[in-house]
Every structure is written in structure tokens, then in C-alpha cells.
Structure 1
Amino acid sequence: MTGSGPGPEGPSGRGAADDAASRGGAARDELLRVCGMTVSYDGALAVVDVSVDVAPGEIVAVVGESGSGKTTVIRSVLGLLPASGRISAGDVVFEGRSLVGLGRAQWLDLRRHRMAMVFQDTGAMLNPVRRIGGQFVEYIRTAEPGCSAARARQRAETMLGRMALPDPHRVMGSYAFELSGGMRQRVGIAMAMTFSPALLLADEPTSALDVTMQAEIVRQMLALRREEGTAIMIVTHNLGVAAHMADRIMVMRAGRVLELGPTERVIDHPTHEYTASLLASMPSL
């Protein structure tokens, strides 16, 4: 699904038909479908009756304040809930297959080849005492045991170059603490995109960055969608980021979906007062 909006790669305004599709009233191509999902932690409800779908190549932003359930939604999709968490109702369907109840080996294969995740602080996920190159090569060869170290290194440098990192060879030889926050985040996105996943899940990928670097990360993610056809589900508290890059926006509060629709409609004509309050404090990108 393509469209135009703020910027050459901005969101599309698909209008009332897409709102109907969001409510299940019209047929859509589906890569991911979350159906009436409820998630609890030790019996306490964290997310209640969430339904959303993502089409191939589409960007959906999940917006809301801290504690609204945004991160729980995408961690549920990727099977990364903590031991205390479980999907207690509903279903998650990816490429026509239910993900609820998948075994460990199935999840590992899915995460390596069809889905990937970028975390809020990639630096915290990288081993501080190992160079970036060693970690990247190991990641590739674990997923593809037949890949030689030399081939994996070449592939890693190519991916770093695609993320517009200056001097990928130097980055490969660096430790995480030697890179800026924006560079670490781009390393994380490069690793996540190595196997061209159909769906990229991003948890607040710009929140720890300054405005200039936020814009750069958004540009890189839009380029990945354009070049790879990757669908993206991005969690953010920044409605400005969502408005700039998403095709549709889902607004959450207290574990429930308050609003879901095309970006232009949500931004220009919000139907819930909470969305309007977020818009009133929306920073520019």
C-alpha cells in the first residue's frame, strides 16, 4: 500500500474505506492480524481486546503514554512476553498461521527470517566487551550455519552501509560504547533487516535520540519500506514521528485501543478526546 502525505514518503490518506477495514468491515491484504487479544501479567490485565491488522509494506504506528500497553502488544506479536505474561484471549495470525502456542524452535526460525525487532536502546542489547563486527557475524552465522565468516562479514558491512553509517569497516571494529546513540540504533536496524523480514517491529526506536537523529532514523526506516517492501509496526509516544511515517495510527490508553484509522484522518479529525490531547502537545519532526 502506498500513498502520499507529509514528505515524499509520508502516510497515505485512504479515508473512510480504510476506517471500515480497520473495524473489519472491508477486505484487506493481511500480513499480520491481531484478533481480540487480551494479555495478562500474573493474572492482571495489561492489554484488553486489541484488534489490528498490518498489510504487506504498510506502516502502523501504535501511540500512547507510558503504561498504555503499546510495548506489550508488539512483544506479544513476537512471542517475547516475560514469564509472567500470557495471551489469555484472542489470537495473533502471521502469514496465515496462528502464533499462539508456537514452540521455541518455531519462534527462533520466525524471528530470524520473517520477523525482526528493534528495541528502544540497541546499545543495551549489544555485548559491551565484544566488537560490533564479531556480534554481527555471529548473528548471521547462527541463522545461516553454512555462511562463511568472510561472507558474513561482507554481508554485515553491506547492511551497515545501507543504513548510511559512515565507514562501516570502522563500525565493525568498534565497541558499542564507542558509537553514538544514533549509530547504535542504526546498527540494531541493520542487524534486524539482514534477512529482509516481512515485518519489522520497532519499540520506541527514536525516543532516546535528539531531533536530528530521530529524523535520520525515520528516513532510514522509510527507505527500508520502500526498498524491501517491509511492513513496520512502530511503537512511539511521539505523535510527530507517527504522523510523519505511518499509514495508519492506533491510539492506546490503559491497555485498550481508543482509535485506529488512516493517519490523515486521525491527525486532522480525531474521534477521541485523548487523541486530541496528544495532538495538542505533538512535537514536530
Structure 2
Amino acid sequence: MRFRPVPVTLPGRERSDAAAILADIRRDVDEAILEAIGDMPARSLRLADAMRYAATSGGKRFRAALTVTVTQMLGGTRSMALRAAAAIECVHAQSLVHDDLPCMDNDDLRRGRPTAHRQFDEATALLAGDALLALAFDILADPRTHHHAGVRAELVLRLARSVGQDGLAGGQMMDLYPSEIISSAELIACLAGKTGSLIRYAVEAGILLGHADDQCNAGLLSFAQDLGLLFQLQDDLLDAVGDERVVGKALGKDAAKNRKNAVSVLGAEGAAQEAQRLLASCAKALEPFGDRAACLLELARFAARRTL
């Protein structure tokens, strides 16, 4: 019998506003990314085209939504949050471009369209990813992102750490070259790095751009940690039992390559139960914020029930 996960839910409103939150932020973040890439004739037009193709190809903007939502919840300004969100989405796009390359997952489709190296070529895709990563730090270091140099420096430092050896790159390496027998703790470390680190940073950026005390920070960071794991757990469930026509990319890749993920380590039912636990933990962490955190809770619910 094939297990098909039921979307994880919490008691409360039946209708989610997550789609509206994401759509509203997507429009503004895409504008910020396009402005940052620019259209200067002295630059390589092919490189700029590849960057735009990779970074504005209709993604959910989930990480951007976290940054903007946390910033506004904590009294920060939307314009600053949108710049930080654009930087985060540039890094996310870069990670996907490199992840799709022949030397990594060798994927032909991303979000229902040809991957960057298929649309252009492998060298152009590689350079577009490099340029998007550099652009992210450019955006964060610009005084328009925040008037205080210390805040900008902290944004840059934390992003560097979130994508490096102890973050995205380290987690991806664990995913590519896992232990022969992977434990639940190793699985969590891998998920926390390759996916959770950038989601956590999205919340951290909102904290830095807003105004919160240490107790609020701790609650939000706990929320971010659980949310990052929840998001990747749902990804692994989709890879195992999702519909390629809905998801817009090849599925079953982990099983085909004998890679370990949440489903192979915990089982489909175990992964779904862990996702349920993580969603409840996210809700618990947000309780002290009351109604102010309603949008964040909607985004967590979205992460748990998404089908793409």
C-alpha cells in the first residue's frame, strides 16, 4: 500500500491567507531583484538575462515573505525588509541554479521550466549563480538597506555563515555524501543546513531590521529552526509521493540515486508525524506574540500543506 501524506493542519481558520501574503510580497521583491540586477549595456547581457531567468522565475518567495513579515511585526520598515528579502531570494536562486547543474542533481526542469543550464548553457548558469550570490551581499551592504552600518555588517556576516560550511554548503555536502548508515541526528543536521539555514536567516534578518528584545528573539529563532526542518520534510515527502505535473520538477530523485532523506530514514508516516510535531512547535513558539504573529502562523501552515 502506498502512503500518501495528508496535509498537516492546526485548529483555527480553515481558509489560509498565505497565498495572498506571498503574492503581495512576490511582486515587490521581484521588482527589487530586477532593479538590483540592472540593465547596463556595458555589462554582459547574456549574464544579466540568465540572472533574471534564475531569480524571477515565479518562485513562492517564502523566505522573502518571512523577512518582510517578521520585520513589519517588529516595527521595522517594509522598504528595508524588501531589500533584505531580495538578497535572500538571490541566494536561494543561486543555490537552485547550482543544485540543478550536471555535477549535482543534473535536473532539466525547475518550476515547470528548463533549468538555467538547459535554457542557456552550463558555464553561463554557473556564472549567473556566482553573480547572484555576489549581488546578495552587494544589496545588504548598501546603505539603502539600513542606515546603521553595524546592522548592515551583521546582515552580511550572518548571511555568509548561513550559506557556508556550517550552513547551506555544509548541508548540501552531507546530502551528496552521507554516512553509510545515517542517524536521525545526522538527518536533522543535513536538513538544518541545506534548507533550514536560509529560512532561519530570513527570520534573523527580520529581527535585525525590526525592534525586539532578547525574549522575543529567542521565540522567533525557535520558530525559524522548526520551520526550516518542516519545510524540508515536506519537500522530501513531495519527492517521494508528489505529482510531477503539479510540482514542476522531476521527483523520486533521492530514491533513484539511493540518497537518504526524511522519508528513507523516518519512513513516510514517520516523516509526516514529525512534520505535524514541528508545525505544533512553530505555533507554540509564536503564542507570546498573539495576533501579531497571525501571518507567520499562516506561512508555517502553508509550508506544511504545500504541494509544490
Structure number with higher helix proportion: 2
More strand by share: 1
TM-score by length of 1: 0.34
